[in-house]
Structure 1
Amino acid sequence: MNEYKSKSNIFSIKVPASYLIEEGGNTISITDDKNGVGAINLSAYVIPATYNFDVGMELSDFVSSNENANNAENLLAQVSADNYEEKEFVLEGQYYWKYWVLYKNNKAVFGTYNCNFSDRLVEKDIVKEMVDSINILT
């Protein structure tokens, strides 16, 4: 795994050497061009110190950008921890989406992973390993 630091200097992430990383603006896309079935997309922001950042509320707002995802019957799993929230959904019975938000030192990273529902386990472990490696820089 190679460590990749965002051009914004907000976070770093460990990514397998064979994966393709594309960065434009404040968004990074990570894919396995040869054997992958999905894509990770990350966006990072500096949050004003005066803003009351609530990780759970921000995740709900982020998920609501996908108009069908925040429907309770589509929810597969939800994880909450200090400064971290995650939700997994199935849409239309065929699309898998995972959303997460990390927050530390007035910096936030918003992420998604999506693929066909039938492929959701193919990259599960490597996606988890990459997400777990995200380090918000000080």
Structure 2
Amino acid sequence: MTGHHIALSLRSAYLTMHRQTQKLLSEFGFTPFQFVLLSTLVDGDEITQRELAVRAFSDANTVRASLLILERDGVIERRAGVGDRRTLTVGVTAKGRRVHSKLSAAVKPLQEMILSSIRPDRAELLVAELDSLVECLGR
């Protein structure tokens, strides 16, 4: 086993999950990345765009482009920061919470299929190993 084998397997798993998620979300007019952003925001309070980019493992420009679409659709709100007017905070609207609920229901069967493909005693280990890999390689 080489690092190349691991990298190819990770790429294959990611792209397969991404394509399946895209199929499920496309009927709602959402992308997998928009769903990631919305899910990240639904789980907590308002956060800065910069923090959202960190949590979503993305770059600021990609996050900003997706947020403009989500804001246009009334799913999120962006506001100037309290302490620093140059900082934008992002939060989910009531509509956004309803939309997230529908999207979550749409992807639930896929998430269950993913979980069923991994033995329960190995799922936590897999996540820990992937987190370790991210830590080792650096964000």
- TM-score bucket of the superposed structures, by smaller chain: under 0.3
Q: TM-score, normalised by structure 2?
A: 0.27
**Which of these two proteins has the greater Rg computed from alpha carbons?**
2
TM-score, normalised via structure 1 length: 0.27
- Higher RCO (CA < 8 A, seq sep 6+): 1
Q: Which has the higher helix share?
A: 2
Of Structure 1 and Structure 2, which has the larger fraction of its residues in strand? 1
